[in-house]
């Protein structure tokens, strides 16, 4: 072999080795979705193989492609049958503020949104956050199985916002990830702790202690607040225990607080209890209605007598003459439902102002002149919107839409304190205790439908509320027959 050929072979071998090491020095990426001419989000490592029970971390990175950006939103989808998302770590993130950091283990959705003040950041490989996973069952995927929720040009999914003051989304492409989980490793615990023996003790005007027990060693934390949205939580007690006790402080006196317990075992299985409430001491004294029989009522009855063709509606224990059929129908009354009684029985009710004007439409918000109380109308009934916090629980309510009406018109509607939630057929009566401080007690009408109607109550006077309002009030004793 000639010297020239040997030199050529050595050169070719050197080029191959150089190309091998050059390729090996770059991380392997999953398939690109979108393009690379603008900002890119990526997951690293892009591939991996793990045993059941293994923990692994995935870094969310951004390449701004030479432009300054102020916000990154990384929305990710994962299959919760194969992976458990345990936590999100933002240590070392190039973004300094946090707007969103949530894991929904039911739907398999992770949402991370972080920002930084102008002029933002310009990077080719900036860290957004690290997500810690645990492999929980075997899978050999043929496509990426941890993916960005991404649509080019849409800010409703993952996005990268340019520092232009206009909120321009420049995210153009994403690199997803593909992970294999193989059978092996230790058997994985997927069962969350069982919570029992929940109690609230040492209640004061400014705090309370929540106690509970778990069936295995677990950590301790309590979320709490004025509504079922909570908004506050205690510092995580990471030491594992069977018996738990968490102190909540800094509360307002005479106030109802909602709370729920969060407790996680050594394998990362989280148990979250349903909503519960307690009331701090002080403020208005709460006088709960005892379990007692529901009183008879004549409110809303339509009466006439043999001596007269006039039809009356009973409101506030007064008989109010219904001037014409138009008014009759506008109040939601049913033709032929009037009851004929003796003139003596009719006259036991005081004479009220005649009803000469048609009712306002159902859903109208009103308040009487010289009266701060706001009501919603469901003719012939009205329901008191208990306080501003309740008003704000309904997005379709608008303070500017409240109609101020004459006191006589406001009083023409029958006040009803009965309500139920849309998908809950339990009817409650609301005892208002302290409107200013949001203190009220709901009492379940623990009676049969026959008992309800025999007491003179109308099904039309039961208002439908959302779950948030239903759960806002403290629970008192049942009302029974």
Asked if residue 240 and residue 174 are part of one domain, the reply reads no
Q: Are residues 175 and 213 in the same domain?
A: no
The verdict on 159 and 54 lying in the same domain is yes
Residue 287 has pLDDT above 70, yes or no: no
Q: Would you state the pLDDT for residue 446?
A: 86
Residues 143 and 223 in one domain: no
pLDDT > 50? residue 291: yes
- Do 165 and 247 have their domain in common? no
Domain carrying residue 200 = 195-279
Least confident range of 19-28, 132-141, 220-229, 269-278: 19-28
Out of 182, 210, 241, pick the residue that ends a domain: 182
* Residue 155 banded pLDDT, cuts 50, 70, 90: low
pLDDT (tens digit per residue) in 268-284: 888 998 888 888 887 65
State the sign of the Cα–Cα–Cα–Cα dihedral 128, 134, 136, 141. positive
Q: Would you say residue 303 has pLDDT above 80?
A: yes
Q: What is the pLDDT of residues 45-91, one digit of tens each?
A: 999 999 988 899 999 999 999 999 999 999 999 998 899 998 999 99
Does residue 452 lie within any of the structural domains?
A: yes
Residues 56 and 168 grouped into a single domain: yes
- Is residue 147 predicted with pLDDT exceeding 60? yes
Mean pLDDT of the region 327-354: 87
Return the beta strands (E) in 207-344 as ranges: 208-225, 232-233, 237-248, 256-264, 270-272, 276-279, 292-293, 302-305, 312-315, 318-321, 339-341
| Residue 174 shares a structural domain with residue 248 | no
As a residue count, the chain comes to 481
CATH of residue 246's domain is: 2.60.40.10
What was the pLDDT predicted at 293?
A: 67
pLDDT at 125 over 90: yes
Least reliable range by pLDDT among 231-235, 374-378, 432-436? 432-436
Band of pLDDT at residue 7, cut at 50, 70 and 90: very low
Number of domains in the chain: 3
pLDDT at 315 exceeding the cut of 70:
yes
pLDDT at residue 17 tops 60: no
- Residue 138 CB neighbours (<10 A): 14
> Binning pLDDT at 50, 70 and 90, where does residue 29 land?
low
22 belongs to a structural domain: no
Percent pLDDT > 90 in the chain is: 44
Residue 305 falls within a domain, yes or no? no
**Residue 190: pLDDT above 80?**
no
Indicate if the pLDDT at residue 367 is higher than 80. yes
- Asked whether residue 174 falls in the same domain as residue 255, the answer is no
Asked which of 235, 263, 279 is the last residue of a domain, the reply is 279
CATH number, position 123: 2.60.40.680
Q: Return the bridge partners of 102, or none.
A: 111
59 lies in some domain: yes
Question: In angstroms, rounded to a whole number, what is the distance separating the alpha carbons of residues 2 and 411?
Answer: 114
Residue 186, phi then psi, degrees to nearest 5: -75, 155
- In 3D space, the residue among 335, 292, 327, 299 whose CA is nearest the CA of residue 460 turns out to be 299
Position 281 scores a pLDDT of 80
Predicted confidence at residue 395, as pLDDT, reads: 84
According to the model, what pLDDT value does residue 39 have? 95
Say yes or no: 50 and 156 in one domain: yes
In a domain, 57, yes or no: yes
Instruction: Find the range with the poorest average confidence among 16-25, 159-168, 196-205.
Output: 16-25
Q: 373 pLDDT exceeds 50?
A: yes
Is a pLDDT exceeding 50 seen at residue 11? no
Instruction: Give how far the C-alpha of residue 121 lies from the chain's centroid of Cα atoms, to the nearest Å.
Output: 33
Q: What is the mean pLDDT of residues 97-121?
A: 91
Torsion sign, CA atoms 349, 355, 358, 359: negative
Judge if 144 and 214 occupy the same domain.
no
What value does the mean pLDDT take over residues 382-396? 87
If pLDDT is split at 50, 70 and 90, which confidence band does 474 have? confident
pLDDT score of 428 more than 80 = yes
Residue 163 lies in a domain: yes
pLDDT of 434 > 80? The answer is: no
**pLDDT class for 14, splitting at 50, 70, 90?**
very low
Structure tokens at 314: 């009973």
Average pLDDT over residues 436-465: 85
Query: Do 366 and 396 belong together in one domain?
Result: yes
């Amino acid at each position: 072999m000639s010297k020239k050929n040997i030199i050529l072979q050595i050169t070719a071998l050197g080029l191959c080795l150089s190309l091998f090491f050059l390729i090996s020095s770059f991380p392997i990426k999953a398939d690109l979705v979108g393009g690379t001419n603008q900002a890119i989000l990526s997951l690293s490592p892009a591939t991996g193989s793990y045993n059941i029970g293994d923990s692994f971390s995935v870094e969310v990175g951004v390449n701004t492609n030479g432009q300054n950006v102020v916000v990154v939103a990384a929305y990710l989808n994962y299959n919760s049958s194969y992976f458990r998302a345990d936590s999100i770590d933002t240590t070392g993130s190039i973004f300094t503020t946090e707007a969103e950091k949530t894991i929904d283990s039911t739907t398999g959705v992770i949402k991370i949104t972080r920002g930084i003040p102008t002029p933002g950041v310009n990077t080719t490989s900036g860290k957004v956050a690290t997500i810690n996973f645990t492999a929980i069952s075997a899978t050999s995927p043929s496509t990426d199985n941890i993916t960005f929720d991404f649509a080019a040009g849409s800010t409703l999914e993952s996005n990268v916002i340019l520092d232009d003051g206009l909120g321009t989304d420049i995210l153009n492409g994403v690199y997803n990830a593909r992970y294999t989980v193989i059978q092996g490793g230790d058997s994985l615990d997927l069962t969350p702790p069982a919570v029992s023996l929940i109690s609230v003790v040492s209640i004061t005007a400014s705090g309370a202690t929540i106690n509970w027990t778990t069936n295995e060693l677990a950590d301790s934390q309590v979320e709490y607040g004025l509504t079922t949205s909570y908004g506050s939580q205690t510092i995580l007690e990471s030491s594992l225990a069977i018996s738990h006790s968490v102190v909540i402080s800094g509360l307002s006196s005479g106030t109802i607080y909602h709370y729920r317990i969060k407790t996680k075992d050594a394998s990362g299985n989280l148990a979250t209890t349903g909503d519960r409430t307690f009331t701090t001491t002080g403020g208005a004294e709460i006088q709960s209605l005892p379990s007692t029989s529901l009183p008879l009522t004549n409110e809303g009855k339509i009466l006439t007598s043999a001596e007269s063709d006039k039809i009356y509606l009973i409101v506030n224990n007064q008989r109010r003459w219904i001037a014409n059929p138009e008014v009759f129908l506008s109040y939601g009354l049913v033709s032929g439902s009037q009851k004929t009684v003796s003139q003596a029985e009719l006259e036991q009710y005081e004479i009220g102002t005649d009803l000469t004007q048609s009712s306002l439409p159902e859903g109208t918000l009103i308040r009487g002149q010289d009266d701060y109380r706001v009501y919603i109308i469901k003719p012939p009934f009205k329901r008191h919107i208990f306080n501003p916090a309740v008003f704000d629980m309904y997005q379709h309510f608008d303070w500017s839409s409240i109609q101020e009406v004459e006191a006589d018109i406001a009083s023409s509607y029958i006040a009803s304190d009965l309500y139920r939630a849309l998908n809950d057929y339990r009817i409650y009566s609301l005892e208002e205790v302290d409107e200013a401080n949001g203190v009220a007690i709901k009492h379940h009408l623990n009676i049969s439908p026959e008992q309800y109607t025999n007491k003179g109550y109308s099904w039309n006077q039961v208002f439908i509320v959302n779950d948030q309002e239903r759960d806002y009030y403290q629970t008192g004793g049942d009302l029974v027959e």
